[in-house]
């Protein structure tokens, strides 16, 4: 009797496994079909854009009706498997030596400004910040005003290889303000597209929507704003201050750790000085001949307020020695 029951049970298990395999096979076929449909939509969008660009009068002739943009598939963020790592309400900035300098990292809700000349190391720090966030399973929003999303993904992928997977899952979100401003085709089908830096209301609205979606599953997130230069060039000083104030306050309320970048020349230096009080701290970068340095202002307790030499490599950097004494 027991042997017969065992046989019946085994047969049922085999039947269940076969059914499960069939369902998985059907699911894969449906998934492949959806992916092909998405690719077809993106291809048609590109062809329509090319045809419109060839019409008299630019992208749209005077009498032509506007063709609505096809909606792009939006990634659905999933809840983290484990709680994100937070030590004393601080999170890693991505470079170990800088974490030591900042006595453990950056506090939740911080708005930090990275300033300095091109190629001084600030973008290296920014992309390590993104990479370490993704490695820890913390959502990241990257706002780009002056570079193609494909370029940014490449820079991040040099440190964290699963960039495409992170974007598809919704862990990495891009806001593209660059493509339309140079009349280029967006290189990411998942990115939120904004037509120009002058459309401040759209940026604020999109940022709030993304923040709301993320916070359904995560207690906080991280953000990179690359860069404020486009807004410095575009906006009146008073409007710029109001915009930065509104944007940073909202990120603080959402418990986001946000980093904003400025490539500095003489005019940018003047403006960055005028808005620096809106941030919780600044990491300044400078170059002197062939040497690079950084200095921290604000951001709570730090090990040193002096200029510290940094040694760049391809994807990160090391710091020279600094005192281990805490300085407020």
pLDDT above 60 for 57: no
- Predicted local distance difference test score (pLDDT) of residue 289: 87
- Whether the Cβ atoms of residue 116 and residue 282 lie closer than 8 Å to each other: no
pLDDT above 70 for 43: no
Measured between alpha carbons, how far is 265 from 97 in angstroms, rounded to an integer? 27
3-state secondary structure of 89: coil
When mean pLDDT is compared across 3-12, 64-73, 164-173, the lowest value belongs to 64-73
pLDDT above 80 for 108: yes
The hierarchical CATH code for the domain 90-319 is 3.40.50.300
More confident residue, 39 or 150: 150
Chain mean position to CA 165: 14
H or E segment at 262? strand 257-263
pLDDT above 70 for 312: yes
How confident is residue 74, by pLDDT bands cut at 50, 70 and 90?
very low
Cβ neighbours of residue 126 closer than 8 Å, sequence gap 6 or more: 114, 224, 226, 259, 261
Q: Which two tokens stand for residue 251?
A: 């990120």
More confident residue, 324 or 184: 184
More confident residue, 62 or 166: 166
Q: What are phi and psi of 287, to 5 degrees?
A: -120, 140
- Predicted local distance difference test score (pLDDT) of residue 13: 59
Percent of the chain's residues with pLDDT above 90: 65
Measured between alpha carbons, how far is 163 from 152 in angstroms, rounded to an integer? 10
């Amino acid at each position: 009797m027991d042997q017969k029951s065992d046989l019946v049970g085994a047969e049922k298990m085999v039947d269940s496994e076969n059914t499960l395999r069939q369902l998985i096979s059907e699911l894969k076929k449906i998934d492949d079909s959806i992916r092909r449909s998405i690719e077809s939509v993106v291809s048609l969008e590109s062809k329509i854009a090319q045809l419109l660009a060839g019409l008299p009068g630019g992208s749209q002739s005077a009498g032509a009706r506007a063709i609505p943009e096809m909606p792009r598939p939006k990634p659905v963020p999933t809840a983290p498997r484990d709680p994100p790592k937070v030590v004393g309400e601080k999170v890693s900035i991505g470079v170990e030596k800088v974490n030591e300098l900042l006595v453990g990292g950056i506090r939740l809700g911080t708005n930090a400004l990275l300033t300095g000349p091109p190629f001084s190391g600030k973008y290296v720090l920014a992309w390590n910040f993104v990479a370490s966030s993704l490695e820890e399973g913390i959502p990241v929003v990257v706002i780009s005003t002056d570079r193609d999303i494909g370029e940014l993904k490449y820079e991040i992928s040099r440190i964290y290889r699963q960039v495409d997977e992170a974007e598809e899952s919704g862990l990495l979100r891009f806001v593209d303000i660059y493509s339309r401003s140079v009349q280029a085709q967006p290189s990411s089908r998942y990115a939120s597209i904004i037509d120009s830096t002058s459309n401040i209301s759209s940026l604020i609205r999109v940022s709030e929507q993304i923040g709301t979606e993320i916070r359904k599953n995560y207690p906080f997130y991280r953000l990179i704003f690359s860069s404020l230069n486009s807004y410095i060039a575009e906006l009146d000083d008073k409007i710029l201050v109001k915009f930065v104030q509104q944007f940073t306050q909202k990120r603080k309320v959402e418990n986001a750790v946000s980093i904003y970048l400025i490539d500095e020349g003489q005019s940018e230096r003047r403006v960055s000085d005028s808005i620096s009080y809106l941030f919780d701290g600044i990491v300044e970068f400078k170059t002197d001949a062939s040497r690079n340095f950084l200095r921290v202002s604000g951001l709570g307790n730090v090990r040193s307020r002096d200029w510290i030499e940094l040694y760049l490599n391809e994807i990160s950097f090391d710091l020279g020695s600094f005192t281990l004494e805490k300085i407020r």
